[in-house]
Amino acid sequence: MSRLNLDFIQYSNIITKMSRLKIGLYIGVGLITLSFASILIKLTTAPSIVIAAGRLFIAALILQPIFWSRFRTLKLEIKNSKRGLIILSGVFLAAHFAMWIESLSHTSVPSSVVLVATDPIFVAILSPLLLREKISLKIIIAIILGMIGTAIVASQGFGSFAMTKGNLLALGGAACAGGYLLVGRKVRPKTSLLTYIYIMYTTAAIILASAVFITGNKFTGYSFQSYLFIALLGIGPQLVGHTSFNWALKYVTAPVVAMAILGEPIGTSILSWLILKQPPTIIEIIGGVIICIGIYLAASSIERKQPQID
């Protein structure tokens, strides 16, 4: 083999390692910011539908000047993009937040967070059928471990009949999150991140704002603290967290991204301990360790032949 070929292979390996590192970094940042979501929601006294609409409204509002300043360059892409699918993704996102945030009013934070993180089940089942993406044995094992860990953590929340409604809402939120990730994986490879999140977040904000008025709620009359936490939800978990995962959907499969989100319950449990003074139980620790093993397997399954990342 020539020296030129050896140099090219070495350079390609460096690019691949940098690409995988960047993917891991973006997903890691997204995971950390998402872990704050449940804590901020618990500290907010506004109704769940107002919180859901508020976080999407803040995110969409911040994106307005960025999007319209680049509209001339994005106009052709928007015209040729699959706008119907992007809007569908926004519908899934709105339903996800409406159900999940409401679940936090009926069940415990650990139970709600781990149940809403079961979206890898829905993604794993539907990804081969809808996206024609193969799932490796390592991913299957990772998903099984993640679900076992999730079941262990959630098991302590099923003792009360009163928590059943919250648990079911969290599961419904997980199903919608799975749909949101699958549509994102379908659209993102050929759509810029800005176009995708702008249309999707704006669609979700309009749907949830409409739901606020339909349900008889209002956006006024809450404490300054509530508005502050809703704004932080829109900037952190929404704009940084969800956008990081939407960025990653261009480069890795939906099951890998869905598995990474399983780390949220672990981060939330740690933050609950530090902020809400609710230390994790032995059951949550055991389940968390199993989930971490599953996340590691999923992360290590990212194909070595990654495309060069922008």
Q: What would the two tokens of residue 149 be?
A: 């860990």
| Tokens 């994106």, residue located | 63
Distances (CA, A) of 144 to 141, 228, 258, 263, 266: 5, 38, 13, 14, 17
Q: Collect all residues with Cβ–Cβ distance below 8 Å to 248 and sequence separation of at least 6.
A: 23, 26, 27, 30, 257, 260
Query: Which of these, 89, 310, 97, 62, lies nearest to 196 by C-alpha position?
Result: 89
Domain extents for the chain? 47-300
Query: Residue 307: how many CB atoms within 10 A of its CB?
Result: 12
Model confidence, pTM: 0.78
Tens of pLDDT along the chain (310 residues)? 444 443 334 434 433 554 767 777 888 888 888 888 888 988 898 999 999 999 999 999 999 999 998 888 877 777 777 888 999 999 999 999 999 999 888 877 777 777 787 777 777 777 777 767 677 787 788 778 877 877 776 676 556 666 778 878 888 998 898 888 888 888 888 888 889 999 999 999 999 999 999 999 999 999 999 999 999 999 999 999 888 888 888 877 776 777 677 677 777 777 777 777 777 778 777 877 787 777 667 656 544 434 444 4
